Structure 1
Amino acid sequence: MASGVATVWMPVEDMRRALGFYGETLGLSVKSEGDDWSELNANGVSIGLNAREATHGTGSGGAMLTLQPDGTLYDEIVRLTDAGVEFIGEVSDHPWGRIATFKDSEGNDLQLFEPPSG
């Protein structure tokens, strides 16, 4: 039985660029960094940046990572857009919350999640 998320692995093409995106643009703290593996802390969840092996072609995505912003969804969209992040489509509203989708520096799918108010 799974008891929770231990680590989320994100495949990356360029470790330096990915560390800049996750550490500086998203504001996650870097726990360790290396050429083939780096790790960040996302409020107690470890995010591993895993260098793609030379035998793998470039991918159009990989693992899906959903992040919950500290402030409002729209404030974080503005902040990330100002940092050069391009969002895919509009914010989608659901009974269970709102989602805004974008890609990281390596082409992986990411989302911002805001739970329903009230």
Structure 2
Amino acid sequence: MSFRKLGAVILLVSDMRRSIQFYKETLNLPIKKESDEWTEFFNKETVLALHPAKHKENLKSGQHILIGFTANDFDQTVNSLKEKGIVFFKNAKDEGFGKHAIIEDPDGHLISIVKLKENQSENDGFDFLGLVGAE
């Protein structure tokens, strides 16, 4: 079995309108397709899709999922999120690979924001689970 690429990250959400607003207005992700049952955001090659959870047990904890975004301007991104009143799960700090912070979406899904150092490649890999204390 082989895969060409990850086609989409699909999140089950408790409130479509609230989640759409968060990803559209707070994170400024462009909407590719929108409906009451399925909304897609597109950022270059990756699709983030939202789908309403039909059963509450599907929403027990979103903290087992970590969505990672690489920021063009890390400090500006963090400051913008703070201005919007976003609470940080992990405050911004310098790590060995670059700058890193974690926020939560309205359903508790963790969102990592990173700015890699010049000499660090996304292909080098780093321990996101250790960064959130999940090891």
What is the identity percentage for the equivalent residue pairs of Structure 1 and Structure 2?
24
- Rounded to whole Å, the distance in 2 between the matches of 1:89 and 1:23 is 22
What SS does structure 2 have at the residue aligned with 1:75?
A: helix
In structure 2, the CA distance between the partners of 1:55 and 1:83, relative to structure 1 (3 Å rule), is closer
The answer to whether the 8 Å contact 1:31/1:41 transfers is yes
- Distance (whole Å) between structure 1 residues aligned to residue 15 and residue 53 of structure 2: 9
Shift of 1:111: 0.7
Which of the pair has more CA radius of gyration? Answer: 2
More helix by share: 2
Higher strand share: 1
The answer for the alignment partner of 1:115 in structure 2 is 116
* 1:50-104 per-position Cα deviation (integer Å, ceiling 9, x unaligned): 2111252532215311111232x12111101111211123334433333201101
Correspondence list, 1:31-110, <5 A: 31-56=32-57, 58-61=59-62, 62-71=64-73, 73-110=74-111
Q: TM-score, normalised by structure 2?
A: 0.77
SS in 2 for 1:56: helix
CA positional deviation for 1:24: 1.1
Give the CA RMSD over aligned residues.
1.8
Q: What is the number of equivalent residue pairs in this alignment?
A: 117
Counterpart in the other structure of 1:8: 9
Shift of 1:31: 1.1
- Higher RCO by CA contacts (8 Å cutoff, separation 6 or greater): 1
Q: Which runs of 5+ in 1 are unaligned?
A: none
CA distance, structure 2, for counterparts of residue 96 and residue 2 of structure 1: 27
